Structure 1
Amino acid sequence: MIDLRPDLAIIARNVAPDSRVLDIGCGDGALMAALRDRHGVDARGLEIDPANVSAAVARGLSVVQGDADTDLAGYPDQAFDYAILSRTLQTTRRPDRVLDHLLRIGRQAFVSFPNFAHWRVRASLLFGGRMPVNRLLPERWYDTPNIHHVTIDDFRAMVAERGIAIDAEWFLSGDKRARPAGANIFAEHAVFLLHR
């Protein structure tokens, strides 16, 4: 049995059995394998890192190497029940366009990301004057893949501006669920289920 990161476990629990899924930025395919093995999901993946593509293919998964910023345009409309983007939104050049593609390709989309407004991030900047390095954000500012520092409130505003509906939202502090009230300050990580 595959042990999933907390955000991936939330997504796995909320994907309907026997559905079709495209996991963009799928990493080594852990979520896809869990969905396939536990729920009979037809899972496909897109991953930029060749080593992760090889690891996912070695699990018997259908994964191609590609870039979310440039390669999603080739996927047909409504080809999947769910499009998933976990811990990838903040690494894309144009998160707004990637989100539009997710909701064009999938009937619903799961999006998860680290919350850069969490109180520890704020405290690190306020008291230390430096970008934090911690379990959730393990890279230093100069070698991080994160190029957009999104907050929960930023994300909610963006989806509202684009006419996107939020079907469900989950928040994490460490590996535990956090309350929605005050999530922009107290949640380290967010997971949203969306549709247009």
Structure 2
Amino acid sequence: MIKEIIVVEGKDDTSAIKRALEAETIETGGSAINAQIIRRIKLAQERRGVIVFTDPDHAGERIRKIISSKVPGCKHAFLARELAQKGEDIGVENASPEAIREALAHVRTDYKAETSEIGWEDLIEAGLIVHPQAAARRLAMGKLLGIGYCNGKQFYNRCRMFQISREEFELAAEQIEKQTEREGNHDEQSQP
């Protein structure tokens, strides 16, 4: 059983979590998260700790931001969109038990650090912003670092929030470069 209480969006997410492992959840009831739910999450954080595990979509990110701003020090678990998608529907409830356990095995803690080892220049150099393939590169880098997909500004903030080290960042950037080179070589070989 996981010690922390997992914050999810709804009943279907709770069912998916319970299929994957033994855990307790708090349901936000969707993106209309109210003061009573925030109080429950604060109490859970004080007593047992909290893991925020919302859908990898706009509404899930909105809920994650609200909780982070009101309840400091939460842990966060992220699912890649393709692991949480069934047809057009994206949500934790669609993920396999294995994908849920994997995401929960790689949680990140939200730290409100004023500084970060990673700067804007690092994001530019890694091709995560101001690059034709920036979105795809952030998606791949977010998976490798376990911080999910987001836009450039959010990516920078998550590097700070989750205290991504320079070493972690550079290792992930190297993996993306190698993958890009392999794909480039594959494309060249398949040309007539």
Give yes or no for TM over 0.5: no
Compute the TM-score of the two structures, normalised by the length of structure 1.
Answer: 0.38
Q: Which has the higher contact order (CA 8 A, sep 6+)?
A: 1
Compute the TM-score of the two structures, normalised by the length of structure 2.
Answer: 0.38
Larger Rg belongs to: 2
Higher strand share: 1
Higher helix share: 2
